[in-house]
Amino acid sequence: MRKLIDIDETTLTKLKVISIFEKTSVKGLIENAVQTYVKNKQTSQFNNLSDEEKEDIGMLILMQEADRTEFVSREEIMKILQS
């Protein structure tokens, strides 16, 4: 996806210098910066959740990974619960 952003000249010059040292393009540098920012925000938001909310998210992830074509009978479930 292409998005145009306005960057002031001072910041653009700094990005060009940093990109030389990092041996990458300014575009790549900005992409990495945005990805890092988003990842840090997600981590921060996750860390601010309560334990119960974290458990709910974990359960949601597990449910999404489950094979929905498999069928488990009631008897199998009861046998597992009695163990």
pLDDT of residue 26: 93
Distance separating alpha carbons of residues 21 and 28, to the nearest angstrom: 13
Q: Is the pLDDT of residue 32 over 90?
A: yes
Evaluate whether 19 touches 26 at the Cβ level (below 8 Å).
yes
Q: Model pTM greater than 0.95?
A: no
pLDDT at 14: 95
Residues whose CB falls within 8 Å of the CB of residue 19, separated by 6 or more in sequence, listed in order: 25, 26, 28, 29
Per-residue pLDDT, 8? 93
Which pLDDT tens digit goes with each residue over 37-70? 999 999 999 899 999 999 999 999 998 888 878 8
